[in-house]
Structures are given as structure tokens and as C-alpha cells.
Amino acid sequence: MISSLSGNIPAFKQADYSQHPPLVPANDVEQKAQQNPELKATEASPSDGKKNGQLSDEELKVVRELKQRDSEVRAHEAAHLAAAGGIAVSGASFSYQQGPDGIRYAIGGEVSIDTSGVPGDPAATLRKADTIRRAALAPAEPSGQDMQVAANATAMAAKAQAELFQKNQDNQNGNQDRQGTQIDLSV
């Protein structure tokens, strides 16, 4: 996910990860331990660092899903960073979930970019808006937040194009006005 910074005012937005709920409920281990006292010694502590050979089939499935999600999240954020170039304000930051194996896996992330225009330079703003849009849409599956940032960049580009058009019109009208006010006094 991409978050934007406009000027010096941070506009960090937390992603809606409702489509990717936690893969292991936070109290799953405790529930199992209460249901089966024999599991208390081996499963009660989520940070006990179990080896894969000690995990149940269900736990191994969860670990595989967490590893896959971790890989997807890291690739997604790397795509944003690669396309953002100099407008990235920070590296990727991640939110984590601890798996039954005691390892923390990235389940969400964001890259902050500067989405402010370039004051007094609509051509530079237009180029920056294009970079913002490309960075937002760089991942294979952009998030809703990514799509919103891309839409805002498109609006920023349209405004910059209108400013460029107006600037060009003013320059052309200024030249025509000067030509129309010249008087040829030679006879």
C-alpha cells in the first residue's frame, strides 16, 4: 500500500486489511491449551520457537499461508519503492503477525511518498504526478489505497495540464498584444 505525504503534513492511512484477516486468531493457542491440558507445555507460548517437525498439520498450513502472505506483501511494497524513485519519503514499513512457529510474518505494509505538487512549475508537477501514479499502480494487485493515490495523481496531473495550457495561452496572448500595439511609422 502506498500512503501519501502532501507538503509537510503527513497523511498516513492505515490499510484496510479486512480482506486479509489474521491467519491465526490471537487467542487460538490459548484456546487449544484450555481444551487439551497436554498441549499446554508445547503450545501455550506462541514464542516458544517450535521447529516445523513439532507443528501440527493445521499449524504447518498456517505457517505456509503466513509465508506466502509475507512474500506477497514484501513484493508489493518493493514494487512501490522501485517505481517511486526520489519521491519515496521512507522505506517500506510492515505490520506483522506471529506464526505458530514463533516467527513474525509481514501481513501488511506501506511506503510513504511525497504527493505534493511542485510550486510554480506545472511541467514538473505533471512529471511528478506521472511518477506518483506509476508508483501507486506498480504492484500486480494495487490496494484500494493505492488506487486512491493513483486517482489523486491523475487529478493533480489534470490540474497541472490546465495550468500549463493557461500559461501557454497567456504567453501567446501577450505576444499578440505586443504585436498589435506596435505602430509602423516609416513612410
> Can you tell me the mean pLDDT for 102-131?
96
**143-186 pLDDT, tens digit each:** 999 999 999 999 999 999 999 999 888 888 775 555 444 545 55
> Given its phi and psi angles, is residue 143 left (phi above 0), alpha (psi -120 to 50 degrees) or beta?
beta
Rounded to two decimals, the pTM is: 0.67
Question: Looking at the domain assignment, is residue 159 inside a domain?
Answer: yes
Question: Looking at the domain assignment, is residue 44 inside a domain?
Answer: yes
Total structural domains within the chain? 1
In degrees and rounded to multiples of 5, residue 60 shows phi and psi of -65, -40
Question: Looking at the domain assignment, is residue 184 inside a domain?
Answer: no
**32-91 pLDDT, tens digit each:** 433 433 333 333 344 445 555 699 999 999 999 999 999 999 999 999 999 999 999 999
Task: Using pLDDT thresholds of 50, 70 and 90, give the confidence band for residue 29.
Answer: very low
Question: Looking at the domain assignment, is residue 187 inside a domain?
Answer: no
Question: Looking at the domain assignment, is residue 179 inside a domain?
Answer: no
> Can you tell me the mean pLDDT for 85-109?
96
Question: Looking at the domain assignment, is residue 186 inside a domain?
Answer: no
Give the structural domain span for 123. Answer: 2-171
- Per DSSP, the residues of 121-152 read -HHHHHHHHHHHHHHHT-SSS--HHHHHHHHH
Residue 63: partners with Cβ closer than 8 Å, 6 or more residues away: 52, 55, 99, 100, 101, 103
Question: Looking at the domain assignment, is residue 178 inside a domain?
Answer: no
Question: Looking at the domain assignment, is residue 139 inside a domain?
Answer: yes
Amino acid 171: pLDDT: 83
| 16, 8 contact by CB (below 8 A) | no
